[in-house]
Chains A and B, each alone.
Chain A
């Protein structure tokens, strides 16, 4: 805490890039903050696994916007679904509350009307229902599937099993 360059924290991403970030930004990353607090001596460089430099770029963008009161202008539209998932996991690792909320909303929006097969793939979920179990649970909650225009991929799923 008494180091001379105490305003900037160095973070090293998985791909080896070093980012010098403001202490205030580092504070929003609870994982990083915990590392800083636990360190006995001054810590020069904090490695952040699972976080790549393109993630840090977006994190810094978000931080700048939220400091200016414009966090609503932050958009992840240009990320495809996998990039968004990746980013969500990075932000989860860093334990950044606000940005995590923004990204979970974005993921939810994208998954909302997707088919069962798509969502399984996205989350990496293995279908452990037997065809009978699947049919039973689908029938029981049939009311939740009414009035939709979701592609009925369930039939394809059953055939794969």
Chain B
């Protein structure tokens, strides 16, 4: 028995170095570095890590000075000849408003290191209220190797945004996520920040603004297939959205209900999915609401947060002329309503209690063309919550209603 145990425990050590390294690649880098004390074989293993993960959480804010030292050490101690695939710096600590801003170069240091080491994926996500005079080095915006970039630099208390560079060169960029940036206005009076990113296929813009003289935001990318746009506060000044994105398949609206009318989608032949992930905000302008309703009527796959569905239902309840002019949702193949766990258990129960009525209302509201002859309709309606499995609406219920 004992002998068998011994050979079992030895077997993990029989794995070659690159596999042991592979295991520690998944750790937060600080802990991966700690493996240096395990044995001589492990002493320098961590230095060959190709992914650097720096994650800090709410309950551990010890002051950025400590965090910055660790980051600095990791960058300077690792093996410079080992290619670096990704750096991820996610500081989830809540920094209070009474923290006095201080000068720190750590974010610039990370960005410059990433640029000079041909990193492919860079993610920086942190509150920035405590950083004085944050400057973004131009090297990161002129990087041939970058395929994925996330910059979320949030001034929570001052609601400041950073200026996104007017010109930049990221030829390989496929995924871009930007939070809290302001875009320059182009010569045509619109902000068209990403048109040079020819490879861009996924774009997320959150809580971003335009300059005062901009008429709107224009997204023109030939390969873009997924776009998410939203804002967490009502001070956003994006009042118009123009899409020149022939490969677009999916559009998501996050945050508060949209403050801009639905973009024209007549040239978007692949466009089939619209998601409203709105968890905040209680109002939507009437004209804006009508424009989105007309867009919804052309969409195949719709996902609505429970909150925005409620908002839509309320607006319609109070507006009989709008109800009378409801478009027909002829293209609808799938409607999903998502309730969120922290608000949701009573809601889900509510929904089950008013099951039939609720679905009836949805059908009435969406004026779905249910093909009664073809019983095996491919339309589905589901209510789901991330923590619970989907409650699929079975076709028999639909039949009962009608």
Do these two chains interact? yes
A interface vs B, CB < 8 Å?
82, 85-86, 88-89, 92, 104-105, 107-109, 111-113, 116, 119-129, 134, 137-138, 141, 143-147, 150, 154
- Are A143 and B70 neighbours in the complex by a CB distance under 8 Å? yes
When distances are taken between beta carbons in the complex, the residues of chain B under 8 Å from A137 are 36-37, 43
- Cβ contact within 8 Å between B37 and A112: no
Q: Is the CB of B23 within 8 A of A112?
A: no
Closest 5 CB pairs of A and B: A108-B26, A124-B9, A144-B33, A124-B13, A105-B26
Interface: B30 (CB within 8 A): yes
With a CB–CB cut-off of 8 A, which chain A residues contact B2? none
Q: Are A144 and B34 in contact (CB under 8 A)?
A: yes
B15 within 8 A of A: yes
A113 to B22, CA, bound (A): 17
Cα distance A85–B5 when bound, in Å? 13
A residues near B70, Cβ cutoff 8 Å: 143-144, 146-147
B12 and A141 contacting across the interface, CB-CB below 8 Å = no
Interface residues on B, range: 35 or more
A127→B38 CA distance, assembly (Å): 6
Chain B residues near A147 (CB-CB < 8 A): 60, 62, 66, 70
Whether B38 and A120, one on each chain, are in contact in the complex, defined by CB atoms closer than 8 angstroms, is: yes
Q: Are A128 and B39 in contact (CB under 8 A)?
A: yes
Closest to A146 in B: B66
Per the 8 Å Cβ criterion, residues 214-238 of B in contact with A are none
Output the least CB separation between B42 and chain A (Å).
7
Asked whether B134 is an interface residue with its Cβ less than 8 Å from the other chain, the reply is: no
B12 adjacent to A85 (CB under 8 Å):
yes
Report whether A92 and B15 are in contact in the complex, using a CB–CB cutoff of 8 Å: yes
8 Å CB contact of A125 from B24, B28, B42, B69: B42
Residues in B with CB closer than 8 Å to A128 are 39-41
A-B contacts, 14 of them at CB < 8 A, read A92-B19, A104-B26, A116-B38, A119-B38, A123-B9, A124-B13, A125-B38, A125-B39, A125-B42, A128-B39, A138-B37, A144-B34, A144-B73, A145-B34
CB distance from B241 to the nearest CB of A (A): 31
B24 to chain A: which residues have CB within 8 Å? Answer: 108
Q: What string of 1s and 0s marks CB contacts (under 8 Å) between B1-17 and chain A?
A: 00000001111110100
Chain A residues contacting B151 (CB-CB under 8 Å) are none
